[in-house]
Structure 1
Amino acid sequence: MSYPFATKTSNNMLPTLELNRKLENRKNMALIMAFCFMIIEIASFTTLYFILYEYRISQEFGESINLFTTNFPRFMNYIIFFAISSLLYLFFIFRYKIYHFRSNSGLADELFKMAKSYSFAVIITIGISFLMKYTDFSRLVVIAYWFSAIVLSAVLRILKRLLYFRLANNDLVCKNVIIVGAGKVGKSLMDELTHNKSFGYKVVGFVDDHDKDDFLDIQNLGQTSELNLLLQKYIVDEIIITIPSERELVNQIIKDFRKLDIKIKIIPDLFNLVMSTVQIGNINALPVVTLVKTPMRGLGLIAKRIFDILTASVLLLMISPVFLITSLAIKLDSEGSIFYKQTRLGKNGKQFGMLKFRSMITNAEAMLKSLENQNEMDNIVFKMKDDPRVTKVGRFIRKYSIDELPQLINVIKGDMSLVGPRPPLPKEVQCYGDWEWRRLEVLPGITGLWQVSGRSDLSFNQWMNLDVYYIENWSLGLDLKILIKTIPVVLKGEGAY
């Protein structure tokens, strides 16, 4: 990268030589990763060919493995298959933009695109081989090659990501950036980049025509009119504009600096919409921002449902002894049924019967009216630490959330999910406003963000905020994190009553 007027340096900035070293680091690491991917493909393909095909033939028919005589034509057919699939794989990784050493997407998304690239490459190669009448292929070799390539590439991409984070944290591959605008969006961006060095950005400073004070440890470099002088003084990779509403200023910056080898990025003026998921698209040539209720849709929703069914089924089998012991304890402790079925509202306000182990006396609902003035929550939900309706066994199973285990049956039936907002009572929903109604946009869950963030010790508004945050930022990775965090929270029995 060359800067025509980068003649000065500052004590608090890297010199040109240091920047060039960083650029070389990024290029070298990208080349090393590409070389590693190539080695993985060649090694996995040839190894599988000899182990699964040639060795098996030699064992079954007594043929000796001799690559350069009788088996060479057959081996060349596989080489052609491998070459075509590899070229197609390269096409797809460029198509999905997952060839960079610095990934712009999450790990799960990157691995999904990688697996999709390999799958498309192999399927298309099989079709091409059929048209070219190359049909003497072992299905075992092809399937094993496809599977092993995906697994090994996934491992390598995970290692690549860890290596990148390590290098970024040591400022070895980071990009120098100047932020234009120190408003709400600009300060939020500076805070993110400062506290997440793994993003690979080093904030040189910011320019703003109104705010004169430094922010955190980031220097106010002056006004936007001084950008030209600042680019002569500092070495900068990117300019990020956070005030797109000032169109004349943005147009002037683009006009002045687009001829330079500096990336210009603009953050859309959608800060008030960050609490809603947005999807970027277009209608013909016009760019369009679509508001989406939740990313929990399409293939992601299908994957979540499959994960719920499989996990809930396995858990039911594993904890069947707990079911038996709890059922006996409830029967011996108090009169009444083992299970308690309560009407709750699920997705889009649909009613369903939520199952729980009974933890209260049989006339608990009738006693509720006399206890309402002792509610310890600050809103419509009733919670009471020393609730006299709770039995001895009920107090124990509530503390460790054992009473919630029958809801695994609700998960399998499709009324609930493993992770999501807790299903509310119909009378609670009657008091909901538009904000609270957002909780009903997805299936309710057995556990959720508020359960791993304080459980009953949180206020009602905190519940709502955490539930809405989950809905708007859902991913399978987030579900897994919540499930893992639920285990120690439940074992400690904190905040549950």
Structure 2
Amino acid sequence: MLPFNGASRQFSASHLPVPSVAGRKHARALLLGDMLVLALALGTAQVVRFGAAAETTVTGLGASYAALGVAVAAMWWVSLQVHQSRSPMVVGHGAEEYRRVIVATFRVFAILAMLSLAFRVDASRIYLATAFPLGLVGLLVERKLARVALHRARAQGRATRKVLVVGGERSAGQLTSWFAKHPTAGYAVGGVWVPDAASAAGILDGFSTDIPVMSAQLDFAEALNVAGAAAVVVTDTEHLGHESLRDLQWRLEGTGIELMISPNVLDVSSSRVRLHDVSGMPMLHLREPQYAGADRVWKTAFDTLGSLALLIVLAPVLILTAIAIKLDSPGPVFYRQQRVGRHEETFRITKFRSMSVDADQRLEGLRALNESDAVLFKMRQDPRVTRVGSFIRRFSLDELPQLFDVLRGDMSLVGPRPPLASEVAQYSTQMRRRMYVRPGMTGLWQVSGRSDLSFDEAERLDLAYVDNWSITGDLMIMLRTVRAVTRGQGAY
């Protein structure tokens, strides 16, 4: 066991974390915001059903709907707390916060239904049918707005927690890079402590800010203080050993300092990770990738029904875009190109034409002006793009005819980027995994930077999508696509 230089000694006040002002404001905002949304939803439901001045009594309860509204709001608010929808572990991270809000809401109304049957309370169905969706949608919108504010504060460094990394320099460097690329996560590495190193290494290489690397010459409490850390991340447990890791856990008990263990696994969805107890030892189990599920009937039904609905809703946009293209430049309205789909079968993708008709012949003459990498060709001011083409590219309107490709079964609404045959020819064995599913009109590449992404970044996102596919993930990507398209960023 590694020495902790007095592991039983308590931390002084200087070692305790100081919550950021933005973090405290966000916590209070959720507590008050949830209650405000619930009060508005239940108040609106009463007005819709009975009018503003009505004091109607609930049949079988002997109390007014105003009193019922207060009781339901309190139950709902407590349910959100019980389901830990305001926990710092989920707030601002992924879809888990929204899932917990939805589960808490459904369980409240399930309990209300059982109580109504048990005590023969006959509450207005219109009142409940109005309050339920209003409250749920209101809570989700409120959480989204709160998350946007929190992410903005974290990006500006006002709600970021410093982290002390316990482990080797290599894994610490990877974790530091990850946090730097994802500032909205709310963590930044303040120092590295290598407990089995005899002497300090100085500064972590490769970063613009000086991140001290400390050895066993410093006590853990001193290392924590040097890093100014409010959280500890253990990246390499072999540097500690089981007993020292246990002692570190005891040492932090009651301090409010967060302790995390990083499995050093990137691009793996939390839905694939399970914690199992193996003879008293916790083990992380990674489920196999779920890309086989992308071939199931319900995925196909989702694509078919979704593309049909979008074609009906967007029919005026499709017609107006086609007319604008025809009036703007000579040539066909649509542009069709050979792409590679699932299982490396080729198909012809359909787009609105955004370039001059001789664009393919002029490509070789522009190769030297490529602003992307050797695989993808991208130019911010491509002379082949027409006036209308520039506009429809900015808002991805040129992609809309691919809805017909989805109906034909060549593509999916969500999936990897549809590659050219020349790109596939350069794929490694690992990259060919992205061909296990149908290519998509949108995907992680679309919502993470679009044309601003390098080839390697786009392919990494595609592989992450294939390995972590889920129908819930598809829905989240489609919602994020709306935001990415309306902003028009990274499209040219």
State the TM-score, normalizing by the size of structure 1. 0.68
Match of 1:100 in 2: 87
Q: Deviations over 1:236-268 (max 9, x none)?
A: 53321111344x535413324424334331111
1:280 matched to which residue of 2? 273
Q: Which amino acid aligns with 1:230?
A: E
8 Å contact from structure 1 (residues 276, 293) kept in 2:
no
Identity of aligned residues (%): 19
What's the TM-score, normalizing by structure 2?
0.68
**Match among 65, 75, 78 for residue 90 of structure 1:** 78
Give 1:292 shift. Answer: 2.2
Change in CA separation of 1:354 and 1:156 when aligned onto 2, cut-off 3 Å: closer
Corresponding position of 1:146: 132
Matches within 5 A, 1:30-179: 30=27, 33-49=30-46, 51-55=47-51, 65-66=54-55, 73=61, 75-76=63-64, 79=67, 83=71, 86-87=74-75, 90-91=78-79, 93-95=81-83, 97-100=84-87, 103-104=90-91, 106=93, 108-135=95-122, 137-165=123-151, 174-179=160-165
Partners of 1:309 and 1:411 within 8 A in 2: no
Distance in 2 separating the partners of 1:382 and 1:230:
49
Partners of 2:181 and 2:373 lie apart in 1 by 35
Other-structure match for 1:241: 234
Distance 2:388 2:244 in 1: 65
Structure exhibiting the larger radius of gyration computed from Cα positions: 1
Residues 413-492 of structure 1 aligned to structure 2 (within 5 Å) = 413-418=408-413, 420-424=415-419, 432-446=427-441, 449=445, 464-465=459-460, 467-468=462-463, 471=466, 476=475, 478-479=477-478, 485=484
Contact 1:452 1:486 in 2 (8 A): no
- Whether the 8 Å CA contact 1:312–1:418 is kept in 2: the answer is no
Tell whether 2:219 aligns with 1:227.
Answer: yes
Separation in structure 2 between the aligned mates of residue 38 and residue 114 of structure 1, nearest angstrom: 13
Q: Report the residue type matching 2:316 in the other structure.
A: L
Distance 1:113 1:484 in 2: 23
RMSD, aligned α-carbons: 5.3
**Cα distance 1:300–1:267, how it changes in 2: closer, same or farther (>3 A)?**
farther
Q: Which deviations, in whole Å up to 9, do the C-alpha atoms of 1:423-469 show, x marking residues without a partner?
A: 346787577542332332333234663899685x9987676456446
Change beyond 3 A, Cα 1:145–1:179:
same
Q: Is the contact between residue 241 and residue 250 of structure 1 (CA under 8 Å) also seen in structure 2?
A: no
Q: What is the SS of the residue equivalent to 1:258?
A: helix
Following the alignment from structure 1 to structure 2, what is the Cα–Cα distance between the partners of residues 293 and 66?
54
Distance 1:375 1:168, change over 3 A: closer
Distance 1:29 1:299, change over 3 A: farther
Q: How many Å apart are 1:184 and its aligned residue?
A: 3.0
Q: In 2, Cα distance between the equivalents of 1:39 and 1:435?
A: 50
1:493 Cα offset (Å): 8.6
2:247 aligned to 244, 255, 271, which one? Answer: 255
Query: In structure 2, what is the Cα distance between the partners aligned to 1:169 and 1:380?
Result: 32
1:152 aligned partner, one-letter code: G
- Distance in 1 of aligned mates of 2:250 and 2:425: 55
- Could you tell me whether the CA contact under 8 Å between 2:93 and 2:185 is conserved in 1? no
Deviates more, 1:298-307 or 1:471-480: 298-307
Counterpart residue number, 1:388 = none
Residues 169 and 192, structure 2, Cα contact 8 Å, conserved in 1: no
Q: Partners of 1:99 and 1:245 in 2: how far apart? A: 34
Q: Is the partner of 1:118 in helix, strand or coil?
A: helix
Where structure 1 has 5 or more consecutive residues not aligned to the other structure, the ranges are 10-14, 57-63, 386-391
Residues 376 and 455 in structure 2, CA contact (< 8 A), matched pair in contact too: no
Query: 2: distance between equivalents of 1:317 and 1:157?
Result: 33
- 1:99–1:459: structure 2 CA closer, same or farther, 3 Å change rule? closer
Unmatched segments (≥5 aa) in structure 2: 1-7
CA distance in 1, matches of 2:357, 2:96: 49
* AA matched with 1:48: A
Per the alignment, in what secondary structure is the counterpart of residue 443 of structure 1? coil
Q: Quote how far apart the aligned CAs of 1:223 are.
A: 0.8
**Is the 1:23–1:173 Cα contact (8 Å) retained in structure 2?**
yes
Distance 1:162 1:419 in 2: 24
Does the 8 Å contact 1:193/1:201 carry over to 2?
A: yes
Structure 2 counterpart of 1:290, which letter? Answer: R
Per-residue deviation, 1:143: 1.2
Q: Is the 8 A contact 1:296 1:475 kept in 2?
A: no
**Distance in structure 2 (CA, Å) of the matches to 1:321 and 1:99:** 46
Q: Deviations over 1:141-187 (max 9, x none)?
A: 10111122123323432343345446656777654432113533311
CA distance in 1, matches of 2:181, 2:424: 39
How far is the alpha carbon of 1:212 from its aligned partner? 0.7
What is the SS of the residue equivalent to 2:201? Answer: coil
